[in-house]
Amino acid sequence: MRVALLSDMHGNAVAFRAALADLEDDEPDLIVSLGDVAQGGPQPRECVELLQELACPCVYGNSDHILVALDFGNEEVDDRVVETAQWSREQLGDAGLGFLGGFAPTVATGRVVCCHATPFSNEDVVLPDADDIPPVEADAVAAGHVHQQWLRRFERTLWFCVGAIGVGRWCEYALVDDETLAVEFRRIPFDVDELIAAARANDFPHFDRWAGSWRP
């Protein structure tokens, strides 16, 4: 089965829609969201609505937990991040927060275990130069969280990170055959000006500072 793996939308529905449009000709058998859907960007509600329309399996990311519980875990945050989280919670309302809270710790498809950071944690950081990770009883692990695309083996397990949909000037995701474990990384452009216009229209907190991070 060919599976599309989308992660780290972070409240960027413009990029999310670009990924879905890119997938239209592929017609994957399944889409799985690897978490971090709504926090950090100006379109949290739109990202949740897109996921609800897809009705696909969803993994619970650390920033999903931030919005559900207003608990920042191990992250060091400033007032801007806290205010953005509070604003995002207001945009989502009880129904949207309840939707995020219903995500699963992991999703299994064929020979692949899908998670946010690792199958054991949605906060741990695993990078391709890691010397050691806890052993996983799986042929393959698909993750997000670190906003990078990479693939390597840790002993018998193929481990790959799919990139991030919504945090850079490129939209990144991956496709995998959940039996042969053939992985294809995708990296496509999206309309940054449209995202900035949406942030302005939605009265996104700390707009000037946020928009400046997107301009060349």
pLDDT of residue 77: 79
Candidates 18, 48, 17; CA nearest to 35 is 48
**Residue ranges in the chain modelled with pLDDT below 70:** none
pLDDT of residue 111: 98
pLDDT of residue 215: 84
Pairing of strands 107-109, 112-114: antiparallel
- CB within 8 Å of 119: residues ≥ 6 apart: 105, 106, 113, 136, 138, 141
pLDDT of residue 174: 98
Q: Are 126 and 146 in contact (CB under 8 A)?
A: yes
pLDDT of residue 180: 98
pLDDT of residue 56: 98
pLDDT of residue 8: 98
Helical packing angle, 79-101 and 44-54, nearest 10°: 20
Superfamily of domain 2-214: Metallo-dependent phosphatases (3.60.21.10)
